[in-house]
Amino acid sequence: MDSTPNPIALTLRCKAQGHLEYPSCIEIISAAIDHPQYGNIGSLKAWRIYRSRCPGAFLRILDQDNSEMHTFSITLFDKFGHARPELVNPGYRSGTGCWGRELDSGALVYILGFNIRPAYRGQGIGTRALSQFLASEHVKIDDIVICWPSPSRIHDRCLWSITRSRQIAFFRKNHFRRIGRTNFFGYSPKQDHPSRAIAMENDIGALDHDFPASDLGAEERKFRYPLLYAVAEDKSPSVAAVIQACYERDPESIRRPDEKGFTPIFGAATCSNLHAVRKLLEWDMRAELQSTSNAEGVTPLERLADTMRSTREFSETYLGWDGYSDQELTIEYLLKKATPGQVVNATNISEYIAGAKYGCTCNQCAGGWLSPRMRFRLHFDAVFWADSMPMNFERFPQGQIMHPSDMMDGPSDFIPPALHPSFYLSFYKGLCGVMRAIANHLESTTRVLSVEGVLAFVKPNEHSQYFFKRGGRIEHAFDSITNNAEDQSELGDDTFWEYFGEDEAWLSLPTCANDLEFELVRKMIGLDARQQWGPYRKTRAAAQEKMEVDTPSDEDEVGDEDESDDEDIIVPPMHKIFG
């Protein structure tokens, strides 16, 4: 009897279930590879990741389970689930250049495990099983399937390397191609995808392909590369004297790379050693500043940018980010000034720090954080509601409240339940007036969005007086416009693009790294992430119960309340002007 299974007879039994903690964002797919004669002969496990369901939280969510998913996410994508620019833009790190912004579309299907029992390997079983999975309902036409060939439970370095090479060859045979110069490979179901035009033998190597793993211990490394060791360990002003002494003993020491191709200026940039950078730049470092001949394939300036990005992403995920440090930005400024071809849009370090503190790349962000395109989005939302909310005025019965959830608008859902008993027509008109004030502020000034700035545009009539006196805040309107603008962006349903994708005013605005930084904007305009904000639709039942016990009288509508009624409402000081 032939003991070789016929691959055509294989069946793939797939079971999908939601992730325990993030069921709407991640679907876990477990597949059993069965043969009618030999039974179960292998398995496959994959995650199907819906990036649109975790806007801004992509990195945080994928950091929860295991180190592989963490490495995968931070290597290829940003917090929005968008591909890193260096992987899709022309340049050394984009590799063959076969991957582009299609990496941002569809779901991601990540193969976590794929195993064929040893007795059945090398017989076409793996190729048949993988092909069945790629053609299954779990992989859609716009999806990208990603894997990281990396053998497990093999401790011998030589055997590990041989096994990994076999794994890479297997996936390449099945139309997977390297993403940039990373260790990850991608597959597109589309036959006409550029990756299909790359022959197996023409696929590119990883960044560290020409720099094999080093066996050097810490002491030997210190002995061979004392200057690199010094800039990594000593960040005090005294490091300048160490560098000078090394130069006097051996002038080439300030340029000599280690076994990974890292030079002293590269090392100083990597560890943000300002004193070392200043000292090394006293010599002509143009060649070293432009070199990418190292295991990471980047210049010192690019390595610094990677470090700053990584620090920011970690802080945003766990600690809260307060902008790049002055030291990081000072080093960036100095490196840009010394690197041929770099443009510095600042006359001095202080000006540069002010403009780049919050990641502005367009040089036009108000305050360094409110980009022209973000301003456009927020202005559009504020104008839309300021124009449309008056159509709801006639819905209010005379002298009676409405429940915010019954209103046909967005801003009402951002009024806290504690204020629902005051949701009379005057309160609503006051909210509408705040929306108009926000729109006027954004349109007529180039300043940052702020409570104080908007307050100057609020008309001090009876409706605004009632709105503020009953606890309404400009921040409630800020909450609404930032939330709605994000929902309409590509982080949400992308309806904004349907309206303005070809709008000349929109297209004329510069693009910036801050164009989708809604969380940063919310923080800067006073929406503390540690506090609860809207939308409050989920609290409707609790709000209705509260209204039954402390709804104010009809006469209370337009600001004739007894002053004692306000004692339980916290009125921000900037609003007391209307009290």
Three-class DSSP category at 223: helix
Direct distance between the N- and C-terminal alpha carbons of the chain, in angstroms, rounded to an integer: 94
Mean pLDDT over residues 449-468, rounded? 98
Q: Token digits for 61?
A: 């969510």
The band of 558, judged by pLDDT with boundaries at 50, 70 and 90, is very low
Contact of 10 with 125, CB cutoff 8 Å? yes
Q: Token digits for 553?
A: 């009288």
Q: Is the pLDDT assigned to residue 563 strictly greater than 50? A: no
Rounded to an integer, what distance in angstroms lies between the CA atom of residue 504 and that of residue 506?
Answer: 5
Contact of 448 with 561, CB cutoff 8 Å? no
Rounded to an integer, what distance in angstroms lies between the CA atom of residue 530 and that of residue 274?
Answer: 34
The band of 538, judged by pLDDT with boundaries at 50, 70 and 90, is low
The band of 32, judged by pLDDT with boundaries at 50, 70 and 90, is very high
Rounded to an integer, what distance in angstroms lies between the CA atom of residue 300 and that of residue 243?
Answer: 18
Rounded to an integer, what distance in angstroms lies between the CA atom of residue 8 and that of residue 23?
Answer: 34
Three-class DSSP category at 148: coil
Rounded to an integer, what distance in angstroms lies between the CA atom of residue 165 and that of residue 226?
Answer: 35
What domains are defined for the chain? 7-210 (3.40.630.30), 213-357 (1.25.40.20), 372-578 (no CATH)
Give per-residue pLDDT as tens, 480-516. 999 999 999 999 999 999 999 999 999 999 999 999 9
Sign of the C-alpha dihedral computed for residues 419, 424, 426 and 430 taken in this order: positive
Mean pLDDT over residues 11-36, rounded? 95
Q: Can you list the pairs that 504-512 forms with residues at least 24 positions away whose Cβ atoms lie under 8 Å?
A: 505/376, 506/373, 506/376, 509/372, 509/373, 509/376, 510/362, 510/364, 510/371, 510/372, 510/373, 511/362, 511/373, 512/360, 512/361, 512/362, 512/364, 512/365, 512/371, 512/372, 512/373, 512/374
Q: Is the pLDDT assigned to residue 215 strictly greater than 90? A: no
The band of 555, judged by pLDDT with boundaries at 50, 70 and 90, is very low
Rounded to an integer, what distance in angstroms lies between the CA atom of residue 520 and that of residue 369?
Answer: 8
Residues sharing a CB contact under 8 Å with residue 308, sequence separation 6 or more, in sequence order:
324, 328, 332
Residue 2 has what pLDDT? 55
The band of 213, judged by pLDDT with boundaries at 50, 70 and 90, is confident
Rounded to an integer, what distance in angstroms lies between the CA atom of residue 422 and that of residue 565?
Answer: 11
Angle at 494 between CA 493 and CA 498, to 5 degrees: 125
Task: Transcribe 390-437 into DSSP letters.
Answer: GGGGGGSPTT----GGGSSSSGGGGS-GGGGGG-SHHHHHHHHHHHHH
> What is the SS3 assignment for 159-205?
HHHHHHHHHHHHHHHCCCEECCCCCCEEECCCCCCHHHHCCHHHCCC
The band of 108, judged by pLDDT with boundaries at 50, 70 and 90, is very high
Residues sharing a CB contact under 8 Å with residue 540, sequence separation 6 or more, in sequence order:
403, 405, 417
Q: Is the pLDDT assigned to residue 182 strictly greater than 60? A: yes
Residue 408 has what pLDDT? 87
Q: Is the pLDDT assigned to residue 545 strictly greater than 70? A: no
Three-class DSSP category at 530: coil
Rounded to an integer, what distance in angstroms lies between the CA atom of residue 240 and that of residue 219?
Answer: 22
Mean pLDDT over residues 98-103, rounded? 98
Three-class DSSP category at 267: helix
Three-class DSSP category at 294: coil
For 574, how many CA atoms within 13 A lie in the half-sphere containing its CB?
Answer: 13
Q: Is the pLDDT assigned to residue 417 strictly greater than 60? A: yes
Q: Is the pLDDT assigned to residue 431 strictly greater than 50? A: yes
Rounded to an integer, what distance in angstroms lies between the CA atom of residue 222 and that of residue 232?
Answer: 11
Q: Is the pLDDT assigned to residue 459 strictly greater than 60? A: yes
Task: Transcribe 471-491 into DSSP letters.
Answer: T--HHHHHHHHHHHHHHHSTT
Which of 266-270, 274-278, 398-402, 538-542 comes out lowest in average pLDDT? 538-542
Q: Is the pLDDT assigned to residue 561 strictly greater than 80? A: no
* CA-wise closest residue to 225 among 270, 269, 268, 256: 256
